[in-house]
Amino acid sequence: MSPEAPQNRTSGRPTACIALADGTIFQGKGFGATGEAVAELCFNTAMTGYQEIMTDPSYAGQVVTFTFPHIGNTGTNSQDDETAEPVAAGMIVKWDPTHASNWRAEAELPDWLARRGRIGVGGVDTRRLTRAIRQQGAPHVAIAHDPEGRFDIGALVAKARGFPGLEGLDLAREVTCAQSYRWDEMRWAWPEGYKRRETPGRRVVAIDYGAKRNILRCLASAGCEVTVLPATASAADIMALEPEGVFLSNGPGDPAATGEYAVPMIRELLDGTDLPIFGICLGHQMLALALGARTIKMNHGHHGANHPVKDKETGKVEITSMNHGFTVDSQTLPADVIETHVSLFDGSNCGIRMRERPVFSVQYHPEASPGPQDSYYLFQRFVSAIETKAAG
Query: What structural domains and CATH numbers belong to the chain?
Result: 16-162 (3.50.30.20), 172-390 (3.40.50.880)
Which residues are the active-site residues? 281, 365, 367
The DSSP secondary structure of 188-236, one letter per residue, reads EETTTEEEEP-S--EEEEEEESS--HHHHHHHHHHTEEEEEEETT--HH
Q: Which of 218, 262, 256 is nearest to 238 (CA)?
A: 262
The DSSP secondary structure of 256-308, one letter per residue, reads HHHHHHHHHHHHHHHHH----EEEETHHHHHHHHHTT-EEEEEEEEEEEEEEE
Distance CA 160, CA 37 (A): 9
Distance CA 291, CA 266 (A): 9
Phi, psi of 207 (to 5 degrees): -90, 125
Give residues with Cβ within 8 angstroms of 187, minimum separation 6. 194, 214, 217, 218, 220, 221
Tell me the pTM.
0.95
pLDDT in tens, the chain (392 residues): 233 333 334 457 999 999 999 999 999 999 999 999 999 999 999 999 999 999 999 999 999 999 999 999 999 999 999 999 999 999 999 999 989 999 999 999 999 999 999 999 999 999 999 999 999 999 999 999 999 999 999 999 999 999 999 999 999 999 999 999 999 999 998 888 899 999 999 999 999 999 999 999 999 999 999 999 999 999 999 999 999 999 999 999 999 999 999 999 999 999 999 999 999 999 999 999 999 999 999 999 999 999 999 999 999 999 999 999 999 999 999 999 999 999 999 999 999 999 999 999 999 999 998 899 999 999 999 999 999 999 98
Residue 62 pairs with which residues in a beta bridge? 40
The angle at the Cα of 279, spanning 238 to 353, to the nearest 5 degrees, equals 115
User: Pairing relation of β-strands 185-189 and 90-92?
Assistant: unpaired
Q: Which of 65, 68, 51, 360 is nearest to 212 (CA)?
A: 51
The angle at the Cα of 186, spanning 116 to 118, to the nearest 5 degrees, equals 10
Distance CA 286, CA 278 (A): 11
Q: Where are the alpha helices (DSSP H) in the chain?
A: 50-54, 109-116, 126-136, 153-162, 172-175, 213-222, 235-239, 255-272, 282-290, 377-390
CA dihedral 240, 242, 243, 248 (to 10 degrees): 10
What confidence score (pLDDT) does residue 392 get? 82
